[in-house]
Structure 1
Amino acid sequence: MVKPFTLVAVAVLALPTAAAATPWRDEPAVTALFRDAGVDGTFVLLDEGRGELRGHNRERAEQRFVPASTFKVANALIGLSLGAVQNVDEVIPYTGDANPFMREWLEPMGLRGAMRVSNVPLYQELARRIGLVRMREAIERLHYGNQQIGSNVTTFWLLGPLAISAVEQTRFLSRLAHQRLPFPRGAQQQVAEITQIDSGPGWRLHAKTGWQNAPGAGVGWWVGWVQKGDQITPFALNIAMAGAADAPKRDRLGRSSLQALGILPGPPRGPVLEP
């Protein structure tokens, strides 16, 4: 069980190195994937061994967008750390629409199941339990994006004002994967566990989708990290989406980019449609 902690009692980590100070390497193979798919977007990974960013479309990679459901990763971490839930399997009552975006959301579940099906109402309930003041303090401690949450604790990551860049996503995820965030390690370990979506001989893939303005036109995300032994490679993709037909492109382009750079083996998997 993760015990709640007091935010002010934890030392603040230094801010991540500014993106502009980190070398960037354009990857033509990834650019070709985006061009062939006819997609406007970016993909970036943080090569921790070389201390450089690698990918496609640096300008967009440094541009901030609403994080949408990728914020569930931080939300889960904050909720576990503050004791809003005791563990990732504690069932949280559903308080959303009776006819939701996904019927799976109506099933009883905790943070683990809600991460898997991207259950928005359940994570909104978690945010209510955390509360606006504690949420703001936690996001500032994480140095998450622009650190702005406004006055509505259930919509700030869906409608703004919270915004984060793809580069900032990789830095946040790097610290989480290494368990270097200023939160209990047990909470970080649980969040890492529920974000794992795939694995193979010698590797594990952790990832989370996001879809701002689902099911309409907006920004689609796919962020996470690949772990091979002690080697961790954080990544982030975002694309301009016209609608539901573009949803599978997030996972597909992300996996293909990781494969093109030798981070993941094998062919891409099937579509991912959740927000």
Structure 2
Amino acid sequence: MAPYLRPMRWILVWLPALWLVLGGAGLQRPAVVERDFTAQFARHGVRGSFLLFDAPAGQYVAYNPRRCRQRFLPASTFKIPNTLIGLQTGALPDTAEICRWDGVTRSFPQWNQDMTYARALRVSCVPCYQQLARRVGVARYRQWLPRLGYPGMVITPATLDTFWLDGRSRISQFEQVDFLRRLQAETLPVEVRHQRAVKQLLLLKKTPGYALYGKSGWRFRSARNPDNGWLVGWVEHPDGRRAFFALNVEPLPGPLNDDRFLASRRAVTEAILQELGWL
């Protein structure tokens, strides 16, 4: 055979196999089962969408699936990859590192004090994570976010300490769930000890029947945008069964009660998880 034909022969031999692999991957995508959870949302004065990946069944359960594919600012749910990147790059030595209060009094009293980064994640202390962002820097975010498979973030020097709160960064509920599945399985390209440290900080509740992990987020309203809230995480049972979820909500039209809106994220999520038999 002429030398110039050998590459073509290799392509012809492997192309069918490659097609089967890619085609098979497409055919094996998890099904999306639609459910109506309107009542749970309305009961708490919000509207939005809910996505759950039922790992034992290998399928998604979705309320408002089209919206589940819509992208929103991640707000404080970004503290999950932010902490991982900080730990992996050494910008954050460990989660016991103290974040020093800058002396600026803010509307959330729990932020107005020195605290560890473990506590900063749990109370969603934005100023502490802005300090961390400045340590990490633009270049390392641009390097590590693609490695983590955390898409949609737009980072510039001017937006280094706000890009997850405002601007053009966006992520969908499907993308959030995909990221959490890899974190829970400890398959992210980050040292396992860092993944375990972050997972431990996400534990919201543990009972004999289940453990609930999660991180909330709140994109504050502005002249152009309404409030937008997240709760992302997973629930696992003692027998190893797991389900991963992402909730995104906005308040219904009318007077806004911030306390009710904040509470709605977990209330709606737990109501749906109970209905689906996970809590």
Could you report, residue by residue, the CA deviation over 1:70-117 in whole angstroms, capped at 9, with x for unpaired residues? 10111111101111122111112223x612131111222122100111
Q: C-alpha separation between the residues in 2 aligned to 1:262 and 1:159?
A: 36
Secondary structure of the 1:40 match is strand
User: Are 1:86 and 2:93 an aligned pair?
Assistant: yes
Secondary structure of the 2:150 match is coil
TM superposition shift of 1:38: 4.8
Tell me whether 176-185 or 38-47 shows the greater mean CA deviation: 38-47
User: Are 1:154 and 2:173 an aligned pair?
Assistant: no
Q: Is the 8 A contact 2:95 2:116 kept in 1?
A: yes
Q: C-alpha separation between the residues in 2 aligned to 1:202 and 1:142?
A: 31
Secondary structure of the 2:98 match is coil
Correspondence for 2:183 among 151, 164, 176: 176
Q: Is the 8 A contact 2:32 2:60 kept in 1?
A: yes
Secondary structure of the 1:164 match is coil
Runs of 4+ in 1 over 2 A off after TM superposition: 34-39, 147-151, 214-217, 229-232
Q: Is the 8 A contact 1:23 1:53 kept in 2?
A: yes
Correspondence for 2:241 among 231, 236, 247: 231
Q: C-alpha separation between the residues in 1 aligned to 2:131 and 2:113?
A: 15
- Cα 1:182–1:69 change in 2 (3 A) is same
**Counterpart of 2:81?**
74
User: Are 1:206 and 2:221 an aligned pair?
Assistant: no
Correspondence for 2:192 among 162, 185, 189: 185
User: Are 1:24 and 2:6 an aligned pair?
Assistant: no
Q: C-alpha separation between the residues in 2 aligned to 1:59 and 1:156?
A: 25
How many residues are treated as equivalent by the alignment? 245
Listed as ranges, the matches of 1:1-275 within 5 Å are: 21-28=29-36, 30-95=37-102, 98-151=104-157, 152-213=159-220, 217-229=226-238, 230-241=240-251, 242=256, 244=258, 245-264=260-279
Q: C-alpha separation between the residues in 2 aligned to 1:178 and 1:243?
A: 38
Q: Is the 8 A contact 1:44 1:235 kept in 2?
A: yes
Q: C-alpha separation between the residues in 2 aligned to 1:141 and 1:116?
A: 25
The CA RMSD over aligned residues, in Å, is 2.1
TM superposition shift of 1:21: 4.2
Q: C-alpha separation between the residues in 1 aligned to 2:236 and 2:221?
A: 30
Secondary structure of the 2:99 match is coil
Secondary structure of the 1:226 match is strand
Tell me whether 98-107 or 66-75 shows the greater mean CA deviation: 98-107
- Cα 1:38–1:117 change in 2 (3 A) is closer
Secondary structure of the 1:64 match is coil
Could you report, residue by residue, the CA deviation over 1:51-75 in whole angstroms, capped at 9, with x for unpaired residues? 2110211011110000000101111
TM-score in terms of structure 1 length: 0.83
TM superposition shift of 1:207: 0.9
Q: C-alpha separation between the residues in 2 aligned to 1:214 and 1:110?
A: 28
Q: Is the 8 A contact 1:69 1:209 kept in 2?
A: yes
Q: Is the 8 A contact 1:145 1:165 kept in 2?
A: no
What are the ranges of 5 or more consecutive residues in structure 2 without an aligned counterpart? 1-24
Q: Is the 8 A contact 2:56 2:242 kept in 1?
A: no
TM-score in terms of structure 2 length: 0.82
> Quick check: which has more Rg, 1 or 2?
2
TM superposition shift of 1:231: 2.4
Q: C-alpha separation between the residues in 2 aligned to 1:238 and 1:156?
A: 19
